Structure formats: C-alpha cells, structure tokens
Amino acid sequence: MAENSDSPPRPASARHPRTRAVHAGIRRSQYGEMAEALFLTQGFAYASAEEAEARFIKSGPDEFIYARYGNPTSRMFEDRMASLEGTEDAFATASGMAAVNGALMAIARPGERIVAARQLFGSCLYVLDILKRFGVDVVLLDGTDLDQWRAAVTPGTRAVFFETVSNPTLEVMDIAGIADIAHAAGALVVVDNVFATPVFSRAVEQGADVVIYSTTKHVDGGGRALGGVICGTRQFVREVAEPYLKHTGGAISPFNAWIMLNGLSTLELRVRAMADTALTLAQALEGAGVRVIYPGLAGHPQHALAMRQMGSGGTMIALDLGTKAAAFAALNRMALVSISNNLGDAKSIATHPATTTHQRLSEDDRAAMGIGPGLIRLSVGLEHADDLAADILGAIG
C-alpha cells in the first residue's frame, strides 16, 4: 500500500534491504548528483589551524582527515553495508583478508584465547598462525560440533571465529548455538559471512557481534576490484578496529569503494538469481550420479540449519570427483566455466582447492577439513542453468 502524503516518512531502517542497497548512506555534494560521487583525494583542507587541531582531536561524521582514516565515498559504502547487515557501523578495508586480519589483530592479546573452526579459507588459517607467533592461544576445532565449542570456549576466551558457511566444503555453522556458548563465556563472536552474502545473512540476529565480508566477491560481483568490510557496533568499529586499521594501512581505496557501492545496487537481484541457478544445477548434477555438496539439497548434513539461517543454499557448490586426475580432466574440459580462484562473479568459476587456495596446508590438514584431491569448488554465476549443466556434465562425463 502506498503511503499517503499525510503519513510520516518510513524510517530508513524499515525499508526493504533491496531499497537500502540502493539508497542507504548517500552523501550528495552541492551539485545534487544522482550517481554516488567518487572523491579521489588523499587529504582534506582545513579553514584554519584551529580547525585542523579540533578535527584531529575528534572528527564529526562528515569531517575527514586523510584517506587512510576515511573518505566520503568509502563512508557511503560503510554506511550502506552497515544498513544491510543490521549493525551500527562498518569499516571498509583494502581486501577481505585485511578485514579478517584487522578484526582479529585488533582484539587479540598475548595469552588470550581465540577459538576457531578449522574449516577456514587458507589465508584465514595463516592469520591465525601469525596470532600464535605473538603468543595468542589459538584453538582449532570442528566448527559443526557444538560439544567441541563447549569444551574449548572457556571463561575469559577473547573471541570465537568461523565462516558461517565454510570454504570450500560448504559446511554450515550453527551461528546461534555457537554464539550462546561464546557469550556465556564473555567472548566476542566474529564471523566471516562471505558465502552467506548480505542477501541471505541474518548473522547479527543470530548472535554474531562482528561480521566480515570480502566484498571482492558478491558485492563487487564483476571481478573488478578488491575490498572488504568489518561490520559491528560503533564502539567495536571505531574504538577497536579503526585505530588498528587506519594506522596499519588497511583502509579501502575510494575508487574501490565506489565500485562496491555500484555493486550493491544489484546485489540482491544477482545473488538470488545465482542461488536459484545453483539449486537447479546441484539437482541436475546429483541426478546424474555426481557427488554434490550443496546446502540447498535435502541430503546435505546441515540442510535444515541452512534453511533456518539463510533460507537458501547459496551460490556455491562443491563437487567431489574422487581423484586429482578426474578433477583436472573435468576442469580442463569446461568451456563455459572459467578456472580461477575468485568467487561471487557474474561468470561461473571453478577452483581446485587442494592445489590452489588450500595448497599450503598439509595433506592431513586438508583431509581433516574434507578437502580431498577430487574436490572442485564451483561459484555459480549468472549464466542460464541449462547451459551450465550441459557444460559441467559434458566435462565430467
């Protein structure tokens, strides 16, 4: 029903996420431009020395100092991401890994404990290894087993960290269950939510305190630029994460933030179309006798949890062809699907994790994570499901 002219305007927080993805956080210059403005500047001028002094002591919401500290374009992107994720604030970073590193490094102290799921992207595991070198007690466990979380998250644990849907084996973590355990011990809940996407995410509702994205993936959606974001309370973002990131150089470039802003406008349309295609494709592959791992299929171990948390199986599929030789042969025969290590692109992408994204791990560690030599990670794009099915089934056959 349309609002009549006598009704008060609907608050921004009540708008549909698709609307917020287009309008949230807009800052227009004196020219009233429709497209978000791109501010390519390193620094900002002050009217007086007194004003410069005051701004370094405490900056207002639209007062900027240096691009590493903040920029009008990146601030629009941060506000829009916070609006979509349902958090008070956000800090945009140079990449998804800058966001992971920034969030964890900003909170970790020698002797403190961080408990993490072992089902993590290879670079996330590398960051945890760095924390160990600095004396942080890092405990890795099976993220799908709540009993292991209960045993490991002791009082005084600083944080827990996990991917809400694991890369690349698509295991789904029980956000609410883990959050209850963590909060009872006084720990922060930090989640990497890339595979769930802001479209299907309800991580904050389910107990996450800090939500991280590599916006390089679905937010950009065109494989153009690197970016990341940390979403959380204003206190965490501005008093914990920002000081570390602005002094260590992890901030996003204004140009990349501008690309991400434009990506957000079509995010929901793209991701929902990709997820619909992923389900159709997973069903076709399963029907052809291929071992398919996809949370949207009833046979997935966490299917019910995925439907409860996301309402969708998402845009990612994993196929297990048994051997490296079979996986390589299939990858080399694919004509429509590109071999690359990105994901969330409009173009479908296939990856062999054991020899690329997770090659640094030992064979035993990969096996513990379910990453066998025949595993292929498939990021479903915007192509038609029939064309993708024909390409992949032909390559496997």
Domains of the chain: 16-263 (3.40.640.10), 268-396 (3.90.1150.10)
Residue-wise pLDDT for 99-139, tens only, equals: 999 999 999 999 999 999 999 999 999 999 999 999 999 99
**Distance between CA atoms of residues 26 and 37, nearest Å:** 9
- The identity of residue 204, as a single letter, is V
For the chain, the average pLDDT equals 94
| DSSP code at position 11 | P
**What pLDDT does residue 5 have?**
52
**What pLDDT does residue 7 have?**
61
**What pLDDT does residue 9 have?**
67
**Distance between CA atoms of residues 51 and 119, nearest Å:** 49
**What pLDDT does residue 347 have?**
97
Q: pLDDT tier at 3 (50, 70, 90 boundaries)?
A: very low
**What pLDDT does residue 59 have?**
86
Q: pLDDT tier at 397 (50, 70, 90 boundaries)?
A: confident
| Tokens standing for residue 211 | 């939500």
| Beta-strand runs (E) in 128-282 | 137-141, 159-163, 188-192, 210-214, 228-232
Which of helix, strand or coil describes residue 136?
coil
% of the chain residues with pLDDT over 90 = 87
Residue-wise pLDDT for 129-158, tens only, equals: 999 999 999 999 999 999 999 999 999 999
| 258 touches 99 (CB < 8 A) | no
Which of helix, strand or coil describes residue 210?
strand
Residue 190, pLDDT above cutoff 90 = yes
Residue 1, pLDDT above cutoff 50 = no
**What pLDDT does residue 8 have?**
63
User: Which residues in 225-234 are b (16+ Cβ under 10 Å) and which e?
Assistant: bbbbbbbbee
**Distance between CA atoms of residues 275 and 199, nearest Å:** 11
Residue-wise pLDDT for 332-371, tens only, equals: 999 999 999 999 999 999 999 999 999 988 899 899 899 9
